[in-house]
Amino acid sequence: MKFKGKEEIVKEIQTKLGLPADGIDGPNTWKGIIVGILEGKDDKELVKCVQRILKVDDDGLAGPITWKTMKSLIVGDEEEEAPSYTPSSGDDILSPNAFKLILDYEVGGGQAYYKKYLRKPCWPKGASGVTIGVGYDCGYNSESQFKKDWHGKISDSDYNRLKQTLGYKGNAASKIVGSVSDIVIPWEAALDVFKQNTVPRFISIMLRSFPGADQLHPDAFGALLSIVFNRGGSLKGSSRKEMANIRELVPSKDYKAIANEIRSMKRLWVGKGLDGLLRRRDKEAELVEACA
């Protein structure tokens, strides 16, 4: 029986993902593999091929060990401590666990990943707009809000160019993102805007959507904030029925029921190549459930 060599396996994966088939398992290839798996191309044979290169158990399941090993090949082997979050006021009650959850899903957890893959404007697909910094969606921010958040944090030239992307969402955003894709948003500016502007603003939005949420365990509060940060605060329409149900559950602090509603939201993204959202909902539900 002839066994495939590493280069042959890498070429096979690259071809499947539409990458240049040079047989080199460099950062671009591993980024493509991760993006491919996140977009739903995670058939077992692909994952098994990846696992053979990584020299982990080739069970065909993209589990924690596989993901951690892939990430180390992109970010590097050095251990990077995730940035800590220190509340700036008594009204800011985002817990460290919730801060980490949001940061993990918005910027891969830390500075190294951000600098490699997220420091330039991108379009995350779907109904998103041009996104910068730590999950800052220009499609859903007004000019006055954008000025409050970013003026003076980046150069005037970059500020004025990014301002032109405000309000563009979905397909329109995909067409305009190329006009600003050369801009670099410094990590320090991205994190500062997230901590000092974005988090407090979304806490206010979240409290309007879920009155009394500030009386919940801080981790549960933070999980709901993660949902609003990702989906917005609207409770209208059939796609928001779980969020409307959560609003009714908050006063009773029924953590298990809230967690079930969060998991139920996954119906919206199953089979749509948005597995990252499915994992995010699970993590939010786990954070709430642990408060029971």
- Residue 92 backbone zone (phi > 0: left; psi -120 to 50: alpha; other: beta): beta
What is the chain's alpha carbon radius of gyration, rounded to the nearest angstrom? 20
Beta-bridge partner residues of 137: 131
Residue 16 and residue 174: Cα distance in Å, rounded?
A: 24
Q: Which residues of the chain does CATH 1.10.530.40 include? A: 85-110+187-292
The string over 99-120, giving b where at least 16 C-beta atoms fall within 10 Å of a residue's C-beta and e elsewhere, is bbbbbbbbbbbbbbbbeebbbe
**SS3 at position 56:** coil
**CATH code for the structural domain at 85-110+187-292:** 1.10.530.40
pTM of the model: 0.59
Q: Write out the two tokens for 102.
A: 């949001």
- What pLDDT, on the 0 to 100 scale, is given for residue 25? 66
For residue 196, the model assigns a pLDDT of: 82
Give the type of residue at 114.
Y
**pLDDT for position 275:** 84
Identify the pLDDT of residue 91.
41
Q: Are 122 and 185 in contact (CB under 8 A)?
A: no
Query: Which tokens go with 76?
Result: 């590097």
CA distance 221 to 190: 23
- Residue 160 per-residue DSSP state: H
Could you list the pLDDT tens digit for every one of the 292 residues in the chain? 344 556 677 777 777 777 777 777 666 676 667 666 655 555 666 677 666 666 555 666 656 555 555 555 544 433 344 454 445 543 445 788 888 888 888 776 678 888 888 899 999 887 789 999 988 999 888 899 899 999 999 999 999 999 999 999 888 999 999 999 999 999 999 989 988 888 888 888 899 999 999 899 999 999 999 999 888 888 988 999 999 999 999 999 999 999 999 999 999 988 888 888 899 999 999 999 999 8
Q: What are the backbone angles phi and psi of residue 290, rounded to the nearest 5°? A: -65, -15
